[in-house]
C-alpha cells in the first residue's frame, strides 16, 4: 500500500511536468496547427539556462527560473517570427521539417556551448519531509505545487482576461478572430511566448530530480505529443488530464510491469489509441 | 555543346566516373565514404518515395533501416544462415513488418501520421536497445560475416565491396525511376497533390498509400542490410531518431520529390561533413538551419531550385526567340 502511494505521488510529479510541456504544445497547435517538434529543444534550453544561471551567475534557483522563462519565451517568439510565420501558408509537411531543422540546430548548439555530458542541477529544496507516512523530497512537492499553480494561473489568464480570450478566439476560428479585430500576429507571438515559458518552467522544475543534457527533450516531447493526441490536439483541459494519466500509468507500470520498458508505455498507448481512433480521442471534429 | 550535355549523357558520365573512381583514387578512406554514401542514398530513396512522391512524412525510417540491418545481423550471426540468403530475407522481413505497421499508421493523416511514425521509430529503438537476449542490447551485434563469394567473384577487398554497392545502387535508382514514371508512380503523385481528388478519380488511395509505405520500408531494409554487411558491426544507435533526421536532412537538402535529390543531398552532405571533420559532432549547427532555410526559400531543395531556374531560363529563351525573328522580319 505504501509503495503504491509512493508511486502515485511519483506519478503526480512526472505528470505535472508532462502537463506543463503538453500545454505549450497544445496551445501552439490550437492556434497555428503546427506540431512543433522543436518544443523539446526549448525544454532542453530551458533546463540549461536555469542551470547556467545558478552555477555561473550564482543566481538563486527561483530567480534563475525567471531568467530562463524570459530567455526561452523570447527564443520561442523568435522561432515563430523567423520560421513559422513565413511558412504559414505552405503545405503542412514543410512546418514539420522546419521545426525539425530548428530542433537539430538547438541541440547541436547546446552541445557546443555546454558540452555533451549529463549535469546535475542543485536545488535549495533538497530536504526530505514526511507527509502522512510518506517520505518525499521537498523538490517533488514544489514541482507539483508550482505546476498546479501555473496551470491555474494559465486557466485564469485564458478564461478571464481579455488578452487571454483572444488566444481562445483565434484557436476557435482564425478568420473569425481577425474579423472582429484581433491582431492574429500578436496573438501568435503571445502564444509562442507562453509555450516557451511553460517549457522552461517544466524543465527547470524537473531538472533537479533528473539530469540536464542535450538530448533531455527527446522523450519528453514525444510523450507530450502522445498526451495532446490523447487529450485532443488543441484542447487545454485535455493536455492537463492527459499529462496526469500518462504520469500515473508510467510510474505504476514501472513498478509493477518493468522499469526497462516504462518509456515504451506512452508510445504503445498512443499506437493503440491512434489505431482505433485515427483522429485521437476527444478530438474536436477533425484536425 | 548543349547537345552533349543532355540528361542521358550527364548520367552516363556520372556512372563512368563512379566506375573508374577506385582507379583514380588510391585513398581507401574516400572509397569507404563513397560506399557508405551509396548505401545511405538507397535509404533516402525509400523515404523520398513515401514523403516526396506520396506526401506522407514518415519519421520511422531510421527504425526500418535498423530492422534491415538487425535482420541481416541476426540471421547470419544467431541464425547461422548464409549471407546471401539473409541478405534476401532481411528486406523482406522489413517489408512484412512495414506492412503491418503501415496498415495502422496509414489510417492517420498529416501531423498524426508524422507523430505516429515517430513513436513507431522510438518503439523500434527501445525494443532493439532493451531486448538483450536477442539483439545484445547496447553492446551491439559483432561478427557479421562479409558477403560470400559468388562463383569466382569475392567481396573481401574494399574495391569489390564498392562495386557490389554501386551495382545494387544503380539497380535501385533504375527501379525508383521506373516506379515514379509508371502508372503507380503517377498515382502516388496524385495522392500527394490531393487525396480527395485522387479518391474521386477512382484511385484506391488506401491500397496505393500502403504500397508506397511498404516499398519505402523495403528500400530502408535493403540499405540497412547493406550497411550491416559493409560495416559488420551494428548497435542500437542506428535505430535512433538521429538517423531518421539525418536521412530527412539528406532528402530535403537534395530535393524532396525529385529523382536526383537523394543523390545530390546525400553526397553533398557526406562529402561536406568529411571535409569539415572538426564539425563532426556539431554538423547540425550548419545543416539544421540549412534545412529550415531551404524549406522556407526553396521547398524542393537544391535540385528543385535548379530545375525551377532551368525551366524559367528555357521559357525565357523560347519567349525571346520570336521577338528577334519579328525584328529581323
Q: What is the pLDDT of residue A122?
A: 80
Q: What percent of chain B has pLDDT over 70?
A: 93
**Which residues in B lie closer than 8 A to residue A274 (C-beta atoms)?**
104, 107-108, 112, 116
Q: Could you identify the residue written with the cell 515559458? A: A197
Mean pLDDT value across residues A223-246 = 85
Residue ranges in A207-281 assigned as alpha helix (H): 217-230, 236-256, 262-276
Contacts of B46 (CB under 8 A, 6+ apart): B61, B64, B215, B216, B217, B218, B219, B220, B222, B223
Domain membership flag for residue A278 = no
pLDDT in tens, A75-108: 999 988 888 888 877 777 788 888 888 888 888 8
Kindly state the helix (H) or strand (E) to which residue B328 belongs, with its residue range: helix B301-328
Contacts of B253 (CB under 8 A, 6+ apart): B264, B265, B268, B269, B287, B290, B291, B294, B301, B302
Query: Residue A103 is part of which domain span?
Result: 20-221
Interface mutation target, options A100, A226, A286, chain B, most CBs of B under 10 Å: A100
The C-alpha torsion from B156 through B160 and B161 to B164, rounded to 10°, is -130
pLDDT top residue among B83 and B189: B189
Mean pLDDT value across residues A48-70 = 88
Q: Looking at the complex, does the CB of residue A268 fall below 8 Å from at least one CB of chain B?
A: yes
Q: Looking at the complex, does the CB of residue A233 fall below 8 Å from at least one CB of chain B?
A: yes
Domain membership flag for residue A103 = yes
Quickly count: other Cβ atoms within 10 Å of residue B53's Cβ.
25
pLDDT in tens, A171-190: 888 888 888 888 888 888 99
Interface of B with A (CB under 8 A): 51, 55, 57, 104, 107-112, 114-116, 118-120, 122-123, 126-127, 130, 241, 245, 248-249, 252, 256, 281-285, 287-293, 295-296, 299
Q: What is the pLDDT of residue A286?
A: 39
Domain membership flag for residue A72 = yes
pLDDT in tens, B209-254: 999 999 999 999 999 999 988 888 888 888 888 889 889 888 888 8
pLDDT in tens, B124-171: 988 888 887 777 777 778 878 878 777 777 777 888 888 888 999 999
Q: Could you identify the residue written with the cell 529550415? A: B292
B72 vs B221: CA distance, rounded Å: 9
Q: Positive or negative, the Cα torsion across A204, A206, A210, A215? A: negative
B29 vs B164: CA distance, rounded Å: 17
Average pLDDT, chain B: 84
Q: Number of Cβ pairs closer than 8 Å across A and B?
A: 125
Domain membership flag for residue A267 = no
Q: Strands, DSSP E only, in chain B?
A: 141-142, 233-234
Q: What is the pLDDT of residue B329?
A: 40
B270 vs B48: CA distance, rounded Å: 18
pLDDT in tens, B76-134: 888 878 888 888 899 999 999 999 999 888 888 777 888 888 888 988 988 888 887 77
Q: What is the pLDDT of residue B4?
A: 60
- What is the distance of C-alpha B151 from the center of its chain? 30
Tell me the pTM: 0.84
Q: ipTM beyond 0.85? A: no
A136 vs B107: CA distance, rounded Å: 44
Quickly count: other Cβ atoms within 10 Å of residue B268's Cβ.
15
Could you name the CATH architecture of B27-148+155-328?
A: Orthogonal Bundle (1.10)
Asked whether residue B294 carries a pLDDT value surpassing 90, the answer given is no
Contacts of A52 (CB under 8 A, 6+ apart): A114
Q: What is the pLDDT of residue B19?
A: 80
Asked whether residue B280 carries a pLDDT value surpassing 70, the answer given is no
How many structural domains is chain A composed of?
A: 1
Domain membership flag for residue A176 = yes
* Cβ–Cβ below 8 Å for B245 and A233: no
Amino acid at each position: 500500500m505504501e509503495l503504491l502511494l509512493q508511486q502515485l505521488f511519483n506519478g503526480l510529479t512526472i505528470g505535472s511536468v508532462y502537463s506543463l510541456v503538453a500545454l505549450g504544445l497544445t496551445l501552439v497547435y490550437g492556434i497555428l496547427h503546427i506540431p512543433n517538434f522543436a518544443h523539446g529543444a526549448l525544454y532542453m534550453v530551458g533546463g540549461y539556462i536555469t542551470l547556467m544561471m545558478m552555477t555561473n551567475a550564482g543566481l538563486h534557483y527561483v530567480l534563475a527560473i525567471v531568467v530562463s522563462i524570459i530567455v526561452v519565451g523570447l527564443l520561442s517568439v523568435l522561432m515563430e517570427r523567423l520560421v513559422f510565420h513565413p511558412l504559414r501558408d505552405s503545405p503542412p509537411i514543410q512546418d514539420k521539417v522546419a521545426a525539425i531543422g530548428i530542433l537539430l540546430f538547438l541541440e547541436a548548439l547546446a552541445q557546443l556551448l555546454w558540452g555533451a555530458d549529463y549535469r546535475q542541477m542543485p536545488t535549495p529544496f533538497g530536504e526530505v519531509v514526511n507527509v502522512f507516512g510518506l517520505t518525499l523530497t521537498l523538490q517533488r512537492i514544489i514541482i507539483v505545487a508550482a505546476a498546479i499553480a501555473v496551470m491555474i494561473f494559465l486557466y485564469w489568464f485564458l478564461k478571464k482576461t481579455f488578452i487571454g480570450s483572444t488566444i481562445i478566439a483565434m484557436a476557435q476560428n482564425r478568420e473569425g478572430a481577425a474579423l472582429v479585430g484581433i491582431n492574429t500576429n500578436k496573438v501568435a507571438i503571445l502564444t509562442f511566448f507562453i509555450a516557451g515559458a511553460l517549457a522552461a518552467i517544466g524543465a527547470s522544475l524537473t531538472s533537479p530530480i533528473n539530469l540536464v543534457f542535450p538530448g533531455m527533450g527527446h522523450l519528453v516531447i514525444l510523450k507530450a505529443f502522445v498526451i495532446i493526441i490523447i487529450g485532443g490536439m488543441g484542447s487545454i483541459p485535455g493536455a492537463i488530464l492527459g499529462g496526469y494519466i500518462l504520469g500515473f500509468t508510467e510510474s505504476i507500470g514501472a513498478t509493477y510491469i518493468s522499469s526497462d520498458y516504462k518509456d515504451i508505455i506512452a508510445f504503445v498507448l498512443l499506437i493503440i489509441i491512434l489505431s482505433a481512433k485515427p483522429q485521437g480521442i476527444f478530438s474536436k471534429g477533425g484536425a | 555543346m548543349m547537345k552533349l550535355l543532355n540528361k542521358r549523357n550527364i548520367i552516363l558520365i556520372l556512372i563512368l566516373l563512379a566506375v573508374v573512381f577506385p582507379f583514380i583514387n588510391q585513398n581507401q578512406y574516400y572509397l569507404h565514404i563513397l560506399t557508405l554514401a551509396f548505401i545511405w542514398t538507397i535509404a533516402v530513396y525509400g523515404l523520398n518515395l513515401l514523403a516526396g512522391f506520396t506526401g506522407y512524412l514518415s519519421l520511422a525510417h531510421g527504425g526500418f533501416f535498423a530492422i534491415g540491418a538487425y535482420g541481416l545481423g541476426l540471421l547470419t550471426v544467431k541464425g547461422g544462415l548464409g549471407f546471401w540468403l539473409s541478405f534476401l530475407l532481411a528486406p523482406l522481413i522489413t517489408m512484412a513488418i512495414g506492412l503491418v505497421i503501415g496498415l495502422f499508421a496509414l489510417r492517420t493523416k498529416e501531423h498524426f501520421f508524422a507523430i505516429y511514425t515517430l513513436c513507431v521509430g522510438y518503439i523500434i529503438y527501445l525494443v532493439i536497445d532493451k531486448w538483450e537476449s536477442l539483439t545484445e542490447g547496447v553492446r551491439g551485434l559483432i561478427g557479421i560475416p562479409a558477403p560470400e563469394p559468388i562463383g569466382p567473384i569475392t567481396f573481401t577487398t574494399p574495391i569489390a565491396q564498392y562495386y557490389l554497392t554501386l551495382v545494387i545502387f544503380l539497380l535501385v535508382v533504375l527501379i525508383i525511376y521506373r516506379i515514379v514514371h509508371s502508372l503507380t508512380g503517377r498515382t502516388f503523385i496524385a495522392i500527394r497533390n490531393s487525396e480527395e481528388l485522387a479518391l474521386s478519380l477512382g484511385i484506391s488511395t488506401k491500397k496505393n498509400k500502403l504500397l508506397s509505405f511498404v516499398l519505402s520500408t523495403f528500400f530502408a531494409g535493403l540499405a540497412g542490410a547493406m550497411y550491416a554487411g559493409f560495416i559488420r558491426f551494428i548497435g542500437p544507435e542506428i535505430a535512433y531518431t538521429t538517423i531518421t533526421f539525418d536521412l530527412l536532412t539528406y532528402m530535403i537538402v537534395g530535393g524532396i520529390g525529385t529523382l536526383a535529390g537523394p543523390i545530390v543531398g546525400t553526397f553533398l552532405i557526406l562529402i561536406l561533413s568529411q571535409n569539415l571533420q572538426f564539425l563532426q559532432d556539431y554538423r547540425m549547427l550548419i545543416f539544421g538551419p540549412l534545412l529550415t532555410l531551404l524549406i522556407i526559400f526553396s521547398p524542393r531543395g537544391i535540385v528543385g531550385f535548379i530545375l525551377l531556374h532551368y525551366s524559367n531560363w528555357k521559357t525565357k529563351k523560347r519567349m525571346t526567340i520570336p521577338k528577334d525573328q519579328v525584328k529581323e522580319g
